[in-house]
Amino acid sequence: METREKIVIIGGGFAGLQLAKTLNNKNKKVILIDKVNHHMFQPLFYQVACGRIEPSNISFPFRKIFQRSRNTQFRMTSVQQIIPEENRVITEEADFHYDKLVIATGCKTNFFGNEKMEDLTFGMKNTQEAIAIRNHVLLTFEKLIMERSRTDDGNWNIVIVGSGATGVELAGAFVEMKKEILPRDYPNMNFDALQVILISATDKPLSVMSTHSQDRSEAYLKALGVQLLSGEKVIDYDGDRVSMESGLQIASNNVIWAAGVVGNVLDGLAPDSMVRQRYITDRFNRVKGYENIFAIGDIAYMETPLYPQGHPQVANVAINQGKRLGKNILKKVDASWVPYEYIDRGSMATIGKHRAVVDLPKFKFSGFFAWYLWMFLHLMLILSVRNKIAVFFNWMWSYINKDSSLRLIIIPNKKNQTEQ
pLDDT of residue 154: 84
Listed in sequence order, the DSSP H helices in 179-335 are: 182-185, 211-224, 315-329
Beta carbons within 8 Å of 78's beta carbon, 6+ residues apart: 35, 91, 92
What would the CATH number be for the domain defined by 5-109+262-336? 3.50.50.60
Task: Say what the pTM is.
Answer: 0.91
**175-184 own/partner pairs: CB under 8 Å, 24+ apart:** 175/224, 175/225, 175/226, 175/352, 176/224, 176/352, 176/353, 177/50, 177/51, 178/225, 179/225, 180/402, 180/403, 181/51, 181/402, 181/403, 181/404, 181/407, 182/141, 184/403
Number of neighbours of residue 70 by Cβ within 10 angstroms: 8
What are the backbone angles phi and psi of residue 222, rounded to the nearest 5°? -70, -35
Please name the helix (run of DSSP H) or strand (run of DSSP E) that holds residue 254, with its range, or none.
strand 254-257
pLDDT of residue 193: 87
C-alpha span between 32 and 400 (Å, rounded): 41
What would the CATH number be for the domain defined by 119-259? 3.50.50.60
Kindly give the interhelix angle for 385-401 and 368-381, rounded to the nearest 10 degrees. Answer: 150
C-alpha distances out from residue 133 to 125, 229, 243, 315, 352, Å: 11, 22, 21, 23, 19
Beta carbons within 8 Å of 283's beta carbon, 6+ residues apart: 302, 304, 339, 340
Strands 300-302, 278-281: parallel, antiparallel or unpaired by DSSP? parallel
> Which string of DSSP letters, residue by residue, matches 386-419?
HHHHHHHHHHHHHHHHS--S----------SPPP
pLDDT of residue 415: 57
Question: Comparing 5-109+262-336 with 119-259, is the CATH topology the same?
Answer: yes
Quote the DSSP letter at residue 57: G
Q: Determine the number of helices (DSSP H) and then strands (DSSP E) in the chain.
A: 11, 25
C-alpha span between 342 and 92 (Å, rounded): 35
Q: Is 12 helix (H, G, I), strand (E, B) or coil?
A: coil
Task: Tell me the domain boundaries of the chain.
Answer: 5-109+262-336, 119-259
- Order of strands across the sheet with 88-91? 79-83, 88-91, 95-97
Q: How far is CA 54 from the centre of its chain?
A: 16
Averages of pLDDT over runs of 10 residues in the chain (420 residues) are: 86 97 96 96 92 89 95 97 97 96 95 87 91 91 75 85 95 92 87 93 95 97 96 93 95 93 95 96 97 97 95 94 97 90 92 94 94 93 87 84 74 56
pLDDT of residue 419: 43
pLDDT of residue 420: 41
Beta carbons within 8 Å of 301's beta carbon, 6+ residues apart: 274, 275, 276, 278, 279, 280, 281, 310
CA atoms within 13 A on the CB side of 311: 29
